[in-house]
Structure 1
């Protein structure tokens, strides 16, 4: 990422050890958010957060338990403080917003044990107008060198029994439907987790810059109401984090907003990550893509070689031709390689040898000649030693073939057995893949990943990831209810881009009658469908942000609705500016994104039909725009006539409001083009 500073202010103040007070406060630049930090009579360090005087996080304690040495959670005194203020705007090579403002006040608290080992621990707070991030830093010191964290005792004491949107904590998957309950029922959660207070504030807890550390879950304290304490994902032997001083933890984050959309429009998570480490980013290019993928999930094709094989040279060329003719940047081909018949076995894949009937060299050349990116697929089956053994050879091959995008998969349990997808072992593996891919100029889309925490700033080739109950679940289960994709922007997507893979037009699989159950019963397979209208699928391509954005249906289904596909053909995955205009968690979302002088709006609702009026003041003033509106036909809902739609054109300006009508389980997709 190149930096351009519109305005930078850096003020550093150091207070000597001898005069440091025991109670410190740092506020946001607008002075509405305040963080208080102190120690109690036992020397336990605590913090609290208020917003315009209202408690957001009440007194919450900090510290660690170690393996084979005393805990570092009490007997502290504050021995120093360091403050600074940052105000700058930086530019990223891709993102929801190309320009990102970073304005925060920072306070570093320096703690030291009063006696005994006299170990030191710093806690760094960064306070933005829309949230707080804090992390621990272990300075280099004589009495703390190599150590193992057994328990991070970070607390988040909420002020009341808020509404909560959450999924159960799990050490291996985030592919779950969200619960909407009160805090008392949300006993052990994954992050991001989002709350709404009785005062109609919104709060979300997560983490940023997860590096060489275990993923964090949050568990309610049995003794203290509304208080979450961090629970780290363990190694196979029970260790949580193996590290040494000097080192830092990820940032623990608290986002706040007056409206639910404020959480979505925040850049705090990415701002808490380190600057870009890739000097030349010219090869990193967002794109929409198609793929040989959906046919596997709805049971019309198979990944493995044989008569129902999906990945063939002929089928790949068909997708490439459609992409080239309709302004779609790439094509992913799953099942291209041999080994799928050995699924679940050790060393099943080498990620190099093509399947019979698939000529990798021919397909790669064909895609290159058509100016379409061929996206490789590496399913590891969770076999980490095997994947790392073949990774160099595979990446060399892809680079030689001119392939610079890769989708990885980690379905199933992890080898070595006992390790978890979200533990330090896998966090470090995922990072090795990112760094090695960068050396070969390969962009990544990770499935079954560690959650996003803003690492895309530091490694912008880490484009997108799954980590969600995505579209595939609609192919072979009871599916995702209409509100699911309207919870995601306010929860999972707060961490970063989401490869949900929207874009299904044949939502009831009417064009795919010969489906075979492959991981469920025939009865469930027969009932499976996508619980939206066709138009909502188009809208989700705007609402659910991904710089590698899939149009996931079969090309023959798009060919039946080319007038509707025109929206996706005209769209992009490379945005200059993005705004969630309006939304409520699990109810509806309306998002506008700009590419150059064109705007695209995605609007979607749950099972409740609704009309929402939005201001168009994000458009350029004194200009006329043509709005092409793709909308559900009258009477079309996700249950009745879900593929019926209308296309309406009218002219609009920034001075007017637009009434967006969304039928049950449906929405609108709008393309705004400048006329003058």
Structure 2
């Protein structure tokens, strides 16, 4: 307490001595307070308090421009505060109704050394704060190039943090847990926990025609924005009127409130699509896991995965088991040379695209198309309209895109730079024209744009489940970190649902991508029950049951996946702790689906079902770890328990290390 009091006194004294208050805005519940200030010399800063406790100390704001004086010293022209409160509906998601309520401070500024003008718009929500910069139409500023965005986040504590290193092209790394002072440069969302348990997650919203923001360590617990550069070293090329993405700080008193935040969605523009009836969340299967295991290959040959015969088998399985879609990767020629016309438009000799599409249509099963660009953006953009047109005629309205190019695109630009941001958006908008839903791998990070373009369904943007097939894999701790970091940004196509978790059922030969024999020792690092839980916990509106269908055939646990819905009316975060455990309940119509998962530690979980409708009897079917389940030695042991429950029932679960439970709760018939 003495340390906190000293920090607060010093901060207030410094503010009184050197700062001129521009404006203050508070959250609707009056818990969060954001202050914008100017020094006597015109330096702009902001700060954030939770009640009276500092969360972000005065933090500098400004821009360095190319061949122009920097925008770092201002005078205030005007400032005003307004309030907004409205509820809106999403066409799909974790919940149908979202409350958008905030208080906004709008500050009009002028550069002290010129007539250039800039606005700062800052909003305070109950679940965080956000601000963006706007460059209005003006004579003093037209076209300009941003060389550096000097947005600081001067955290009040050297807090515990969870992060992955920034590299401008990939998010596929394992999370680290350190103090803030130990980081160098990290991707967002960047989540920290203060000593009193308060959680902050720094990210951005509505990333449009701008470079992605990473965070660079300055000193102590102070961070600064570091934008992903163009090849020429510049960051953003702009023309007025222009505005930046929102810089966001989600704030919560506990982990379950952090996960429940709708801040990013609320900061995006409403949908640009008047008709969203064609956008339908779904479960899907595919030959993808067999390819990653080395059983099949993408390219043509004796082990080619996407054959007409295998496609028919997967379509039949989907039809029989309430799975709405099937993904066929490697159906096309040109895998040796990405970017050619064959790589996008010409089926392989053993795959009859028209026959497969017609059969799928007859069975009421959706085909998910696959476009791997290999990072050759020019080639993909030259073919993509033809691709989408052909897909549309065949009744294929979902596409998985891929951008495997670890060192950037073939033109030298980065995935996460302004060039990449604009390319990904171009594809989303073109897909909407042809009524196509997208699942992007190696994507630009999610910033809530699914509100504006609801056909942008899901994306990878983190280290997914395929790493378990051919590397040291993803630990249970890693997948317990995702809900509090990557998934705060939006849905993720992690690809859960592996039943043969230790690969013990496979008795054939496996190969790596180069055709060499695959070495042994790889596996999934959870129990089977945890794989079911992941289907609920790791949300995606296009949710893949990722295992080969041979491992699902006749398996009693697959009944949970058969029953699972992936488009929800409501979601409750029952309990959670960062990187340790989470229990999530999601409602589709009158049925609830619950996923409970833990990290490497076994744990007892208890929670009351008070979210159920009162005076109604339900049946709960619980798929959970068995008494002898061990993720290393006996991972596929599980048990199914059925019991009657109501809104006063308390469920007690025993989760094995790296384990979980998946539950279906449905009302009994009258």
- TM-score interval for Structure 1 and Structure 2 normalised by the shorter chain: over 0.9
Secondary structure, in 3 states, of the residue corresponding to 1:387? helix
Matched, 1:317 2:321: no
Q: How does 1:221-370 map to 2 (within 5 A)?
A: 221=218, 224-342=219-337, 347=340, 349-370=342-363
What is the CA-CA distance between 1:520 and the residue it aligns to? 8.3
CA distance in 2, matches of 1:22, 1:669: 52
CA contact (8 A) 2:55 2:157 kept: no
What is the CA-CA distance between 1:560 and the residue it aligns to? 4.2
CA offsets per residue over residues 232-271 of structure 1, 9 Å max, x none?
Answer: 0011111100011111100000011111111110101000
Aligned residue in 2 for 1:661: 654
CA distance in 2, matches of 1:103, 1:291: 41
What is the CA-CA distance between 1:596 and the residue it aligns to? 0.2
Secondary structure, in 3 states, of the residue corresponding to 2:627? coil
Q: How does 1:16-55 map to 2 (within 5 A)?
A: 22-55=21-54
What is the CA-CA distance between 1:356 and the residue it aligns to? 1.2
CA contact (8 A) 1:384 1:414 kept: no
Aligned residue in 2 for 1:99: 97
CA distance in 2, matches of 1:300, 1:560: 21
What is the CA-CA distance between 1:482 and the residue it aligns to? 1.2
CA distance in 1, matches of 2:162, 2:517: 31
What is the CA-CA distance between 1:23 and the residue it aligns to? 3.0
Secondary structure, in 3 states, of the residue corresponding to 2:345? coil
Q: How does 1:94-243 map to 2 (within 5 A)?
A: 94-114=92-112, 116-221=113-218, 224-243=219-238
CA distance in 2, matches of 1:438, 1:385: 20
What is the CA-CA distance between 1:657 and the residue it aligns to? 1.5
CA distance in 1, matches of 2:623, 2:252: 31
What is the CA-CA distance between 1:41 and the residue it aligns to? 2.2
For structure 2, the residue ranges without an aligned partner over 5 or more in a row are 1-19
Equivalent of 2:379, from 376, 386, 398?
386
CA distance in 2, matches of 1:511, 1:657: 37
CA distance in 1, matches of 2:174, 2:403: 20
CA distance in 1, matches of 2:514, 2:256: 37
What is the CA-CA distance between 1:454 and the residue it aligns to? 0.2
CA contact (8 A) 1:88 1:103 kept: yes
Aligned residue in 2 for 1:511: 505
CA distance in 2, matches of 1:215, 1:96: 25
CA distance in 1, matches of 2:545, 2:561: 8
CA distance in 1, matches of 2:239, 2:341: 36
CA contact (8 A) 1:539 1:669 kept: yes
CA contact (8 A) 1:340 1:348 kept: no
Distance 1:67 1:602, change over 3 A: same
CA distance in 2, matches of 1:480, 1:544: 14
CA contact (8 A) 2:496 2:535 kept: yes
Aligned residue in 2 for 1:632: 625
What is the CA-CA distance between 1:659 and the residue it aligns to? 1.2
Aligned residue in 2 for 1:373: 366
CA contact (8 A) 1:580 1:590 kept: yes
Distance 1:193 1:523, change over 3 A: farther
CA contact (8 A) 1:473 1:480 kept: yes
Secondary structure, in 3 states, of the residue corresponding to 2:412? coil
CA contact (8 A) 1:171 1:422 kept: yes
Q: How does 1:436-585 map to 2 (within 5 A)?
A: 436-519=430-513, 525-561=519-555, 563-585=556-578
CA offsets per residue over residues 123-152 of structure 1, 9 Å max, x none?
Answer: 101110110011000111111100000000
CA contact (8 A) 2:163 2:190 kept: yes
CA distance in 2, matches of 1:160, 1:571: 42
Secondary structure, in 3 states, of the residue corresponding to 1:418? coil
Moved >2 Å (runs of 4+) = 346-350, 413-417, 511-517, 519-525
CA distance in 1, matches of 2:115, 2:387: 50
What is the CA-CA distance between 1:640 and the residue it aligns to? 2.1
RMSD over aligned CA atoms reads 1.3
CA distance in 1, matches of 2:517, 2:649: 50
For structure 1, the residue ranges without an aligned partner over 5 or more in a row are 1-20
CA contact (8 A) 1:349 1:380 kept: no
What is the CA-CA distance between 1:586 and the residue it aligns to? 1.1
What is the CA-CA distance between 1:113 and the residue it aligns to? 1.7
Tell me whether 35-44 or 204-213 shows the greater mean CA deviation.
35-44
Matched, 1:78 2:68: no
What is the CA-CA distance between 1:429 and the residue it aligns to? 0.3
CA contact (8 A) 2:409 2:415 kept: no
What is the CA-CA distance between 1:407 and the residue it aligns to? 0.3
TM-score (norm 2): 0.95
TM-score (norm 1): 0.94
CA distance in 1, matches of 2:471, 2:275: 43
CA offsets per residue over residues 586-619 of structure 1, 9 Å max, x none?
Answer: 1111110000000000011111100111121111
CA offsets per residue over residues 176-233 of structure 1, 9 Å max, x none?
Answer: 0000111111221100010110111111000000000000000011xx4211100000
Aligned residue in 1 for 2:57: 58
Secondary structure, in 3 states, of the residue corresponding to 2:520? helix
CA offsets per residue over residues 378-418 of structure 1, 9 Å max, x none?
Answer: 00001000000001111110000011000000001444432
What is the CA-CA distance between 1:282 and the residue it aligns to? 0.4
CA distance in 1, matches of 2:399, 2:449: 17
Q: How does 1:596-675 map to 2 (within 5 A)?
A: 596-675=589-668
What is the CA-CA distance between 1:79 and the residue it aligns to? 1.0
What is the CA-CA distance between 1:511 and the residue it aligns to? 2.2
What is the CA-CA distance between 1:292 and the residue it aligns to? 1.3
CA distance in 2, matches of 1:520, 1:615: 51
Distance 1:125 1:525, change over 3 A: farther
What is the CA-CA distance between 1:347 and the residue it aligns to? 3.1
CA offsets per residue over residues 138-169 of structure 1, 9 Å max, x none?
Answer: 11111110000000000000011100000001
